[in-house]
Every structure is written in C-alpha cells, then in structure tokens.
C-alpha cells in the first residue's frame, strides 16, 4: 500500500459514491432507508482496515467508528442485543472476514503478477503487495524505467470487479524526449489488445506491430497495428490503426525484394522477419562500416529504410552506397567473400542485428 493513500478516507469516499448513485435513482431522501446497508458497509471496512492502520488512518477510523456506533443504536435499540452482537463480531464475524479477505488478496496478487508478467513487465518492480490498497475502485501504479531506460515509463491501471478483486484494465506507455519535451508521446493500451510493453514502446516510436488473433476454432488471423501521429483525435491522442496482414502490404515479399537487390539473403530470414513483426528495427552493417535500419511500415505499404541518423533513404541510394564501398575497398570485400564461402551462417549472424 502506498504511504500516501489513507484507506479510511477511501472507505468514506466509496460510501459517498454509492450514495450519489442511489440518490440519482431513488431521490435525495434515501439515506434514512439504507441505514443497515451503511452500517454493514462501514463496519466491514473498519474491520478490514483497523489491523495495520497507520496513525492517520486511525484518526479517520475513530470518526467512522462513532458513525457506526450511532447506526448500531438505531438498528438495535436494546443495549443487551448490542453487547451480544459486538461479542459475536469480535469472536466470529471479524476473524472470518479477515480470513476471507486475506485469501482474496493473496489469490488476486498472484493472478495480477502473472498478468503483469505476460505484458513483459516485472511484477516485483511494481510492488503490488504494497501499492494495491484494495479499497479504491480504480488505481494506477507507475513504473519508471522498466528496462533501465529513463525515457520510457509505464503506468499500469487497475479496476476492482464485483468480487472485490483488482483486474488489470490497461496500461499507459510514455516515451519521453529529454531534449524536446513537446515531442513526448503516450498512449493507453487496453489489455485486450494483447500488446506487451516492448511492443508498446515500438508503437510509440511510430513503428508497426503484427498481432495474431483467433477467428474461431483453431483458426488464426493477423493484423498490423500502428499509431498514426499525423492524425490525432480532438484530445491530441494518436489513432491506433489496424491493417489486415498481407492487405496491400506483404512483409516477406518487400524484404525479399530488398534482400535480392542488396544480395543479402539473411534479411529475409525467419529471425529477421519475426523481429520486424514485433516492431523492431533490423540493423544492417554495410561494407563501408555504416549501419542501415529497416522497419515495417504498413500504413505506407513499404519497408522503411533509414540511415544512421534515422533519416529515410531509398533502396536505390542504399544500393549505390554499397557499390561505392565495394569499389573503395576491393581487398576487404575479397576477404569477406572468402569468409562467407567458408562459413556462410556465421557471416550472416555477424551482419544482421535485431
């Protein structure tokens, strides 16, 4: 639980939210008719929070307990009945509630840890056991630098269901530009999209990700997903566009064409294609020592070729650069050709990086 969250205050706010909901339906004079519901809600919350309450929470709980006592007198005017009910609460009700809550909490934390891990995040870094207070209906946990990179942050969003368990509803990826804060990018990805945190980082950089989904039975289909930063909503949010795979853009065909022109068959390898489908750039070392990058761009129906400065270049320009490098360093080229003939696979692994 975060030290900034006062669970006792959240308990009171939760009841107020319920009151507002009921008043919208039944009118503003409803409170006197739901005394028992208020008593059950607040007394259950007090029993849940009292153990391990912070000093600030205890201050609020003292006020809540006074309200609970007043409600109890209204419901049970007979003092003997009240004493018996309190004994029952101490001896039976509260221990049972505590045991049920502990079980629910432990099961929920285990489920959430698996869900967070499936998104490519480390649940230990989120400190779910400390930061989920199990009082708020909605809450978020920020994770700065999930992989040691300070320019990428993730905020995981949780919502409580009817059973009282938290479910991970979405997460917000934030890509920051320290030199130009105005170019910061963020987008909230629904968990149902199946996009993990690394793929989200690639999407925020403008690259595309291929997603597979079921279309019934054992059949699967795929689609490209890409954030369009040229077309924003009224709130300044980029559009997440979807394109059926192979619809006017076939990654394998496009990459194979580039590989043939450059005489680089390793570009069309399964490893390289899988990397591009995940939104990664493919780094290709040239004979002149420079590095060129390839990435899928289904929105524009092409494989984008970028130079070392991440500036777009054409395939023809890249081909001319290669030819020029071969003319300048014929001896180096001859040596490398011999190495390829001796061990083609090893040379491919050295020239291709994902």
Q: The tokens of 243 are what?
A: 């394109």
- Phi, psi for residue 143 in degrees, rounded to 5: -125, 110
- For tokens 């289904």, the residue is 298
- Residue 58 sits at the vertex; the CA angle it makes with 55 and 64, to the nearest 5 degrees, is 155
CB 1 within 8 A of CB 130: yes
Res 298 pLDDT > 80: yes
Nearby residues of 98 by Cβ (< 8 Å), 6 or more positions away: 47, 48, 51
213: closest CA among 197, 227, 199, 192? 192
Rounded CA separation 143/122 (Å): 10
Weakest mean pLDDT among 108-112, 180-184, 233-237, 349-353: 349-353
Res 332 pLDDT > 70: no
Name the band, by pLDDT with cuts 50, 70 and 90, for residue 149. Answer: low
Look at residue 354 in the predicted model and tell me its pLDDT. 52
pTM score, whole prediction: 0.73
pLDDT digits (tens, 9 = 90+) for 256-266: 999 999 888 89
Name the band, by pLDDT with cuts 50, 70 and 90, for residue 2. Answer: very low
Name the band, by pLDDT with cuts 50, 70 and 90, for residue 58. Answer: very high
Rounded CA separation 108/102 (Å): 10
Can you tell me the mean pLDDT for 16-43? 84
The H-or-E segment that residue 223 falls in is: strand 220-232
pLDDT digits (tens, 9 = 90+) for 225-236: 999 988 888 888
Name the band, by pLDDT with cuts 50, 70 and 90, for residue 247. Answer: confident
Range list of β-strands (E), 74-217? 138-144, 152-160, 166-175, 185-190, 209-214
Res 31 pLDDT > 80: no
Look at residue 64 in the predicted model and tell me its pLDDT. 94
pLDDT digits (tens, 9 = 90+) for 188-203: 999 988 899 889 999 9
* 327 vs 228, higher pLDDT: 228
Look at residue 335 in the predicted model and tell me its pLDDT. 52
Name the band, by pLDDT with cuts 50, 70 and 90, for residue 26. Answer: confident
* 165 vs 352, higher pLDDT: 165
Nearby residues of 341 by Cβ (< 8 Å), 6 or more positions away: none
Res 182 pLDDT > 80: no
Look at residue 72 in the predicted model and tell me its pLDDT. 92
Rounded CA separation 60/204 (Å): 43
Q: Where are the domains of the chain?
A: 7-111, 116-244, 251-353
Look at residue 326 in the predicted model and tell me its pLDDT. 73
């Amino acid at each position: 639980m975060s030290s900034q969250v006062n669970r006792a205050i959240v308990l009171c706010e939760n009841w107020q939210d319920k009151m507002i909901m009921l008043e919208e339906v039944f009118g503003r004079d409803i409170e006197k008719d739901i005394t028992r519901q208020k008593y059950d809600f607040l007394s259950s919350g007090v029993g849940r929070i009292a153990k391990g309450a912070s000093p600030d929470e205890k201050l609020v709980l003292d006020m809540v307990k006074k309200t609970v006592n007043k409600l109890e007198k209204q419901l049970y005017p007979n003092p003997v009945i009240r004493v018996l009910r309190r004994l029952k609460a101490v001896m039976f009700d509260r221990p049972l509630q505590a045991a049920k809550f502990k079980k629910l909490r432990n099961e929920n934390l285990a489920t959430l840890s698996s869900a967070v891990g499936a998104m490519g995040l480390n649940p230990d870094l989120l400190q779910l056991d400390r930061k989920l207070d199990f009082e708020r209906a909605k809450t978020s946990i920020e994770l700065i630098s999930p992989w040691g990179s300070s320019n990428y942050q993730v905020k995981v969003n949780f919502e409580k269901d009817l059973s009282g368990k938290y479910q991970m509803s979405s997460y917000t990826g934030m890509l920051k530009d320290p030199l130009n804060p105005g170019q910061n990018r963020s987008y909230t990805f629904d968990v149902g999209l199946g996009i993990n945190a690394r793929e989200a980082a690639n999407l925020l950089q403008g690259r595309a990700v291929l997603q597979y989904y079921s279309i019934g039975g054992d059949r699967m289909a795929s689609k490209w997903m890409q954030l369009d930063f040229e077309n924003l909503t009224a709130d300044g949010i980029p559009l997440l566009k979807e394109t059926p795979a192979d619809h006017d853009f076939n990654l394998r065909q496009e990459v194979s064409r580039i590989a043939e022109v450059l005489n680089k068959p390793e570009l069309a390898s399964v490893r390289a294609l899988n990397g591009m489908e995940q939104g990664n750039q493919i780094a290709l070392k040239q004979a002149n020592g420079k590095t060129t990058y390839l990435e899928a761009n289904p929105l524009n129906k092409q494989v984008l070729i970028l130079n070392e400065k991440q500036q777009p270049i054409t395939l023809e320009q890249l081909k001319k650069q290669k030819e020029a490098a071969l003319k300048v360093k014929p001896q180096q080229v001859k040596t490398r050709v011999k190495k390829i003939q001796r061990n083609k696979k090893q040379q491919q692994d050295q020239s291709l990086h994902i």
